[in-house]
Amino acid sequence: MWLGLATRDPDCAFPPLLRIYGGDIFYATFVVFGLRFFFPGVRLWKVVSWGFIFCVCIELQQLIDTPWLDHVRHTFPFGLILGYGFQWSDLVCYGVGSLLGYVVCMIGEMLVLRGEARSR
């Protein structure tokens, strides 16, 4: 989560491409990690799919333009969660972030399982 927020900081020395798209990529990765934490027994591909669908739904809700929802979006915590405006590129970023979450979770789970096998 902090890495995604750091990409929005103009003082951080991230490459321009990562500063533009990194927050959305890490947002989806964070969602996958969160879902994996709450659903450890579910197949990883399902968790990643749910995470991607969640992110797409959040992006699609940005197409709804009502005064009360716009007001909620411009508060600090909900602005980070709900976003401010629909962008097609965010959907691609969510796909990349979900795949990143899949790879990191898969590697982490393989290392944990390998460690458990060695301790037996």
Interatomic CA distance for residues 15 and 74, integer angstroms:
27
Three-state DSSP at 41 gives coil
**What is the rounded CA–CA span in Å between residue 102 and residue 50?**
12
Between these two residues, 52 and 75, which has the higher pLDDT value?
52
Tens of pLDDT, residues 77-103: 887 778 888 999 999 999 999 999 999
H or E element: which one contains 43? Answer: none
What would the pLDDT profile of 24-70 be if each residue is shown by its tens digit? 999 999 999 999 999 999 999 999 999 999 999 999 999 988 898 88
- Overall average pLDDT of the 12-26 stretch: 80
CA distance 23 to 120: 41
Of the listed ranges 3-12, 18-27, 72-81, 93-102, the least confidently predicted one is 3-12
Give which of 42, 11, 10, 5 is closest to 25, Cα–Cα: 5
19 neighbors 47 (Cβ within 8 angstroms):
no
What mean pLDDT do residues 72-77 have? Answer: 84
Percent helix, strand, coil in the chain (nearest 5)?
75, 0, 25
| Helices vs strands, H then E, count in the chain | 6, 0
| Residue scoring higher pLDDT (72 or 4) | 72
The three-state secondary structure class of 42 is coil
